[in-house]
Amino acid sequence: MGKNSKKLKTAVTDALFITAGCALFAAAYNFFLEPNSVSPGGVTGIAMIINYLFPFLPTGVLIIAINAPLFIAGWKTEGHPFLIKSIYGTIASSAMIDLTGGLYSYTNDPLMAAISGGVLMGAGLGLIFTRSATTGGSDIAGRLLLRVLPGLSLGRIMLAVDAVIILSAALVFGGITFALYAVVAVYISSVVIDGILYGMDSARVAYIITDKTREVVEAIDRELDRGATLLHGEGSFSGAPMNVILCAIRRRQIAGLKSLVREIDPNSFLIIMDAHEVLGDGFRSFNRKI
């Protein structure tokens, strides 16, 4: 396959993923969130508030109008391919929101609407993010913050950015209940986003300090089929040299790791931490968009 053919295939794949993501996002907004006054956060949440105050202004048009200066400001800091795809995502999602408005509304249970809307919204945004694109607004803000705070996940950053908009929506719609439903929707959305981007079976990193280093390492290899790295440390009080075992494991293997370490050395010291993404042998490959 030639270079141009590969570029065309990538462009078509990007367009399909982004379009599908926009459709899911529009469905989440029109079918579940907007009918129940549940703010999705971001620029869409701002447009929702403005549309509530001035119903004659279409939500999709407002989204494009608010995003325009953000894209202009981000032209120098983000790559042009990213912005071009994001502009397409913004226009497509905005058009779909206006075109599908009024087709269907679920209003039987606001909590179920928030949950369903959160899942659809997260799935849509996750598909869009996998192609290095966004729907503008807080999505771009999240990506910019991710450059400064690489230790955080994109979903968590967006959750924080959206909090202010959700509180504003609660004031406009007249009740803390709307804010609580919005928190449910946005939180579920962030979990789904992280699941799509980083994998639902997210990894953990374990640090093990033990006097039986070799036995623990061999047990990890034998029982969990995981490798380990030895970090050379020193006791802060004793000054004695010691090894620290570093091991990346899957979430479902935590119980097994704790059990085998406790069995080999009940006096060991074990720290287990979240790892948003682990790339390499036994985990995900490096061939990723984000």
Nearest alpha-carbon partner for 70 in 87, 92, 58, 85: 87
Residue 45 near residue 34 (C-beta atoms within 8 A):
no
186-212 mean pLDDT:
82
The per-residue pLDDT for 117 is: 95
Mean pLDDT estimate for the chain: 83
Unique residue bearing structure tokens 């799935």:
123
Cα–Cα dist 185/55, whole Å: 23
Unique residue bearing structure tokens 């899942």:
119
Cα–Cα dist 187/241, whole Å: 44
pTM of this prediction exceeds 0.85: no
Nearest alpha-carbon partner for 26 in 48, 10, 11: 48
Local confidence band at 144 (pLDDT 50, 70, 90 cut-offs): low
Which domains does the chain show, CATH number per domain?
A: 3-198 (no CATH), 203-275 (3.30.70.120)
Q: Residues 278-288: pLDDT tens digits?
A: 666 665 665 55
Q: Residues 94-131: pLDDT tens digits?
A: 999 999 988 899 988 999 999 999 999 999 999 998 88
The per-residue pLDDT for 25 is: 95
Q: Residues 57-87: pLDDT tens digits?
A: 999 999 999 888 777 766 766 657 778 888 8
Q: Is the pLDDT of residue 8 over 90?
A: no
Q: Is the pLDDT of residue 289 over 60?
A: no
Residue 131 token pair: 């192609």
Q: Between 168 and 121, where is the model more confident?
A: 121
Contacts of 99 (CB under 8 A, 6+ apart): 26
> Residue 279, Cα to own-chain centre: how many angstroms?
17
Q: Is the pLDDT of residue 34 over 80?
A: yes
- 58-72, 109-123, 170-184, 189-203, range with the lowest pLDDT: 189-203
